[in-house]
Amino acid sequence: MRVAFDISPLKTGHNYRGIGSYTENLQRALEARNKPFELEFIETQKDLEKFDLVHHPFFDIFFHTLPINTKTKRIITIHDVIPLVFPSHFPSGIRGNLSFFLQRMALRRVEWIISDSNASKNDIADKLNYPEAKITSIHLAASKSFKKITNSKQLQKIIKKYSLPTGFALYVGDVNWNKNVEGLLRAIAITKSPIVMVGKALKEDALNQTKELNGLIKKLDIQEMVIKTGYVPEEDLVAIYNLATATVLPSYYEGFGLPVIESMATGTPVVCSNNSSLSEITTAETAFYCDPENPSSIASKIIEVFKMKKLQREEISEKLQKQASKFNWDTIASQTIDIYQKLLEK
């Protein structure tokens, strides 16, 4: 039996987002495990018929990327359908609607769907009218490189490289509406604490969302508090998590929320919303829950973390790392292989 895993996201803009992280980490984990079938990693959707099963690790809602006419069994990983849950905040346009129609047609011929969370699983069944019995929720994990760093020279190098302040809040992510970056910036205007913002889109000033955020930063007069790094390599990101006082993700909604797991793996406290997938991967002992609708709530939780004593921080750090260890790529690969086997035997 021949199985193909589509790694084309690593050659596109997805490589700088969660989809790229998922694809790369799952590829590594699959390579490391014994498999009762032949597994090949492909970068094109040509000649899919020579495989018995193909796994596409992403699904674009408003771009037609999924082949309609193929006899090969297929698995799709759909990370979230947030634009369908909040359509007023994600206008699709005529072309987007046409692509969505074609994507849904192609989806009818897909054998199985993998989601990142139970929240996404429910959304997929509801918004895409796909049988819930054919959707498996598999939580993601941080890459193995995300861990506590004790090498002070390594950390000092990153401080100098990115001109990082002493004691800062950290945001890692995109500029999409559901991330609630506006609410976060309003909270920073209250706390008066520095914030380091990591993400490729945050430095793309031509994007309308980024323009709006830049305008808000100026309006709130917090230019001196905001440090935008843009995209950073994973090795540097691990160090930045280690240096942060708190990681903040006050999202309105998340399909998974990878920065939360990454932060926990490094032992850095997390301020986040208690909704969607975030409530699945955190606990009251491992997260400082805020109300995403209220910047004052976000601010108060950031301040609470900043005021923690050393002993309390150390205790929470241990709990965070323990919680993060429950999510690992070996388990994800094993669960994914089980689905492959089930479909190959069908």
Contact by Cβ (8 Å): 111, 55:
no
Cα distances from 167 to residues 16, 93, 322, in angstroms, run 26, 43, 24
Query: Across the strands, what pairs with 155?
Result: none
pLDDT value at residue 17: 81
Residue 293, pLDDT score: 98
Average pLDDT over residues 180-195: 98
DSSP string, 98-151: HHHHHHHHHHTT-SEEEESSHHHHHHHHHHS---GGGEEE------TT-S----
Q: What pTM did the predictor assign?
A: 0.95
Q: What's the pLDDT tens digit per position in 267-308?
A: 999 999 999 999 999 999 999 999 999 999 999 999 999 999
Instruction: Kindly state the average pLDDT of the residues 44-67.
Output: 90
112-131 average pLDDT score: 97
Residue 280: how many CB atoms within 10 A of its CB?
16
Q: Does residue 134 have a pLDDT over 80?
A: yes
Which residue type does 234 have?
A: E
- Please determine, for residue 69, whether its predicted confidence score (pLDDT) is greater than 80: no
For all residues of the chain together, what is the average pLDDT? 95
15 burial level (CB within 10 Å; 0-12, 13-18, 19+): middle
Checking if the pLDDT of 253 tops 80, the result is: yes
What is the pLDDT at residue 70?
A: 80
Give me the amino acid identity at 75: I
Mean pLDDT confidence for 99-124:
96
Q: Which pLDDT band, with edges at 50, 70 and 90, does 46 fall under?
A: confident
Q: pLDDT at residue 15 above 80?
A: no
Find out whether 172 and 259 touch, Cβ atoms under 8 Å. yes
What pLDDT is recorded for position 18? 85
With 80 as the cut, is the pLDDT of residue 44 above it? yes
Mean pLDDT value across residues 47-75: 90
Q: Which domains does the chain have, with CATH numbers?
A: 2-141+328-345 (3.40.50.2000), 152-324 (3.40.50.2000)
Asked if pLDDT for residue 202 goes beyond 80, the answer is: yes
- Token reading at 36: 């009762």
For the chain, percent of residues with pLDDT exceeding 90: 92
Q: Tell me what pLDDT residue 120 has.
A: 98
